[in-house]
Structures are given as C-alpha cells and as structure tokens.
Amino acid sequence: MAERKKSFSVLLNGLIKENPTFRLLLGMCPSLAVTTMAKNGLGMGAAATFVLVGSNLVISLIRKIVPDKVRIPAYITVIATFTTIVQLLMAALLPEINKQLGIFIPLIVVNCIIFARAEMFAQKNGPFLSVLDGLGMGAGFTLAITIIGSVREILGAGTWMGIPVTVNLFEPAIMFILPPGGFLVMGFLVALFNKLTNKKDRNAECETGCGVGCPGCSKAVNGGEA
Amino acid sequence: MFKEIIKPSLILFLVCAIMTGALAYVNSVTKPIIDENNIIAEQESLKNVYNDADNFLDAKTAEELKSEGIDVGDNIEKIYTAQKDGQSVGYVVAVFSSGYGGQMKILVGIDNDLNIEGVSLTNHNETPGLGANAADPKFTDQFLGKAPETTYNVVKSVPNNENEIQAITAATVTSKAVTKGVDEAVALVRLMAGGA
C-alpha cells in the first residue's frame, strides 16, 4: 500500500508540486522559444516526455554499472540517443510538426530538465519509479508549455490550436507571439502558479533545505541550461 | 590501474556501442519513410506554384546551368522543368533572397510565355504577423499573370500598373526581398525560354 502511494506521488510530483517549468524553472529555452502556438507546445512536450521516460529508464538500469567517473558522458550518450530517435520518428510520422519545431528537437539533448532528472532521480531510484518520474515531469512540462502557448496564441493571433476563437472581439496583439510576449506571459504564469499552490507546503519545503527539486541545490543543474 | 582507467573506459565504450546499435536500427526503419516524405513534400510544393503541370523533371542546379553556358543569377538554387501530357510547358525556379529575418527560399512557377503561375515562400524566418504575411496568397497572388518586361516595382499604395506590387504594411524589406527573388526567376526563365 505504501509502495503504491509512493509511486502515485512520484507521478503527480512533476505535474504541480515540482512542475519543471513553473516551479523548478528548468528548460526555459524551449518554454519561451517554441510556445508561439498551443500545438507547438504539445508537440515539444510530447517529444521531451518520450526522451525523459526513455533516458530515465535506461539510466536507472545502468546506474550501478557505470562508474562515477564516466557518469556524465554515459548519461549524455543515452539522452542524445533518445533525442535522435525521437527526431527520426517525428520526421517520419509527423513531418509538419517536425518542421515547425525545427532546431528545438535536437536541442532536447541539452534541455536541463532531462539531465536534472537523470542526476536527481533516475540515478538514485529503480527503473519503475524512474519511468513514473519521467512521465510526471514530462506531463508537467507539456502542460506548462501548452498553457503558455495557448495564452500567447489566443492573445497574439486570436486562434487556439489554429482555430479562430476570439471572433474579432479584439485586435490580436502581435507582441504576444514575439519574444517579449513570451517573457511577459511566462512571468505572469509563474506568479499565478505560485499564488495558487499551497503556501504552507512551500515553506515546509524550504526549511528542509529546499527539497530535492530546487535547481539551486544541485551541482549538476546549473551548467545544463540550453 | 584497472579500476581507475580501464574499467570506466570499457563501460563507456559499451554504453556508446549499444546506443549506436539502437540508433542504427531506428534509422534503418525510418529512413525510407523520411525519404518518401521529402519527395512527396517537394512534389506538393512544386504543384502548389504550378497547378497546371502534371509532372516535374529532376531539377538542374545553378552549377549545371552555368556549365551549359547559361548566365544564371547569383541567388538561383535550381530549376525544375514542368511538364503537361509529356510536353514541357514551363519551369519552377527555386531562388534565395535575403529577407528581414535572414535567407528565405522562394519557388516561382513560370510558363514558357513568361506568365507567372504561382509564387510561394517555402522557407523563411520573417517576423510572425508582419513579414511572415508575405507567404499569404493575398501578397503572392499579386505576381500572377504576365511578367513585366523589366522588373517589378514595390509600391506602398494601391498599385496602378501591372508591374507594381503593393508592399505589406510594416514589412517593406520582406516585400522587396520576395519581389527581387521573383525578378531573378523571371530573368532566368526569359533566357531559358529563348527570349520569348
């Protein structure tokens, strides 16, 4: 029973409490760059989730065999392999979305969410929990960038998933699909997310030395931003 | 010695070897599909600018044309011959031009009588909502019809003459770049079609 409860909380962790984009502030580069449309956010999120689950699984399987010394090159090799696989699959099956996301698919290799989860979670946990962590974190990332994409697309282009929704209620403000709009929307959403999540919970987390997920505490995370 | 150097190297080597194997397998499965996708996408983009044609011959690159003694503009990438019922009816020219956001690629369909059949931007980095509107038929359809004797003129008001193209508001650089690309394509086809 306790085991089941733990798996569940690992899965949910990435969605809200340690949402990679809104709470851990990891992977800012794709979160700002590809979120001009809701559809791009969804595609990018799905690709990153695939890489996260795959690399978490393999890394947790080989964590006891790989010596500490060559840990980082070995993990990067695993992550790069899954990224290339996802790129090939998207080019074969979803050429349209692949064209839209362009350079950001290969850049998943240096997306620090993936490496941070490898170092902080998969290296210390078994394959089952690591896969759940990958799924949860991936879902949290997908949710976050799809929300950012939706807000920017609706305000900036008057459409959602390419369908016109504002019916000329207001003139779309192009700025929202340009880079400044990305920063603005991101800032407001992080503020809103912090307001909505439990305040008590946040304080408790900080007393115990920032919990496991705080990006400032892990030596591996800081160098990894794309 | 073994524990410090050889063992880590061996394990890293093994990890790389296994991952390379996995990649080679995925590549062998997806490569034919990707190649086919690219061919379909190319044919579709050609059809897009030359709806009348039913077949496009393999493209000739700018270098091949130069070696045949044809004076090719600097920005021409390649030229396809468009066929209908087995007869050559015109050309599709792929040309590069420098827009506001860097290089863009333009396809121009032109028949043997120098009528523009279609213009499309296949690759560009123009600002969404401004320069990117140049890919819109509202802009590119202005080129359709007989190509001018000299070159197109970009104007900022409603065009009076056949050879005038109305620039997109707040995107004059992009509008001029597309127009320059079309001009170059017309110049090449004028040469190829024997000065018709």
Q: How much is the average pLDDT of A164-192?
A: 85
User: Which residue in the set A84, A93, A177 is minimally distant from B129, CB to CB?
Assistant: A177
Nearest to A56 by CA among A129, A142, A131, A106: A131
Report how far Cα B162 is from the mean position of its chain's Cα atoms.
25
Residues with Cβ within 8 Å of A134's Cβ and at least 6 positions away in sequence, in order, are A49, A52, A53, A54, A55, A56, A57, A117, A122
**Residue where the block lists tokens 């990649």:** B23
Nearest residue in A to B40, CA atom? A95
ipTM tops the 0.90 cut? no
Using the Cβ of A162 and the Cβ atoms of chain B, whether some distance falls under 8 Å is answered with no
Count how many Cα atoms sit within 13 Å of the Cα of residue B37 in the half-sphere of its side chain: 16
The predicted-structure confidence for A41-92, as pLDDT tens digits, reads as follows 888 899 999 999 999 999 999 988 888 888 889 999 999 999 999 999 988 8
Phi then psi for residue B96, to 5 deg, are: -95, 150
Question: Searching chain B, which residue's CA lies closest to the CA of residue A88?
Answer: B30
pLDDT of A117 above 80? yes
**0.80 exceeded by the pTM?**
no
Q: Report the percent of chain B where pLDDT is more than 90.
A: 18
Task: Answer whether residue A149 shows pLDDT above 60.
Answer: yes
What pLDDT is stored for residue B30 in this prediction? 92
Share above pLDDT 70 across residues of chain A, in percent, rounded to a whole number: 86
The DSSP code sequence of A37-76 is SHHHHHHHHHHHHHHHHHHHHHHHHHTTTS-GGGHHHHHH
Residue B102: the pLDDT is 85
Cβ atoms of B30 and A94 within 8 Å: the answer is no
Query: Which of A111-115, A179-183, B67-71 shows the lowest per-residue confidence on average (mean pLDDT)?
Result: B67-71
Contacts of A153 in chain B (CB under 8 A): none
Write the pLDDT tens digit of every residue in B29-48. Answer: 999 998 898 888 888 888 88
Q: Does B6 touch chain A (CB under 8 A)?
A: no
CB neighbour list of residue A176: distance below 8 Å, 6 or more residues apart? A151, A152, A155, A156, A157, A184, A185
Per-residue pLDDT at A211 exceeds 60: no
The band of A209, judged by pLDDT with boundaries at 50, 70 and 90, is very low
Residue ranges per structural domain of chain B: 55-192
Q: Tokens representing B49?
A: 């600018």
Every domain of chain A and the residues it spans: 26-225
Question: pLDDT grade, residue B51 (50/70/90)?
Answer: confident
As a whole number of Å, the end-to-end CA separation of chain B is: 79
Residue in A65, A81, A108 with CA at minimum distance from that of residue B21: A81
What is the tens place of the pLDDT at every residue in B149-196? Answer: 788 888 888 887 778 888 888 888 999 999 999 988 888 888 877 644
Checking if the pLDDT of A1 tops 80, the result is no
Going by C-beta distance under 8 Å and a sequence separation of 6 or more, which residues neighbour residue A178? A156, B127, B128, B129
Q: Does B21 touch chain A (CB under 8 A)?
A: no
**B12 at interface of A, judged by CB pairs closer than 8 A:** yes
* Tokens describing residue A64: 């006891």
Can you tell me the distance from the alpha carbon of A135 to that of A177, in angstroms, rounded to the nearest whole number?
A: 29
